[in-house]
Amino acid sequence: MELTTDQEQRRERLIGLILSAKTLPEIAQTRQMLQDWLAAHPDDLGITDGFDHLAMSRSLAENREAVQKLGA
C-alpha cells in the first residue's frame, strides 16, 4: 500500500487518536474516523487492529463511568 505524504500524516494522526481516546465520545468519534479511513483505504489492513484497541478503551471507559456513578 502506497500513501502520499499527506495520507501518511493523516494515518499517523489517526493512530495517535486511537491510542489516546479515553472518553466514550472520543472513542465513538475515533471509531467513525477509522471506519471512514478504511472505506477510503480498504487495503490498509494494518490499521484494523485499531478496532480492537478502541473496543478495549470503550470497555474501560464504561467501567470508569459505572464506578463514578456508584461513588456519586
**Cα–Cα distance, 56 to 27 (Å, whole number):** 10
Per-residue pLDDT tens listing for the chain (72 residues): 899 999 999 999 999 999 999 999 999 999 999 999 999 999 999 999 999 999 999 999 999 999 998 986
**Cα–Cα distance, 70 to 9 (Å, whole number):** 41
Per-residue model confidence (pLDDT) at position 21: 98
pTM over cut 0.95:
no
Per-residue model confidence (pLDDT) at position 71: 83
Most distant pair of Cα atoms in the chain: their distance = 51
**Cα–Cα distance, 11 to 23 (Å, whole number):** 21
Break the chain into its structural domains and give their ranges: 23-71
**Cα–Cα distance, 39 to 18 (Å, whole number):** 17
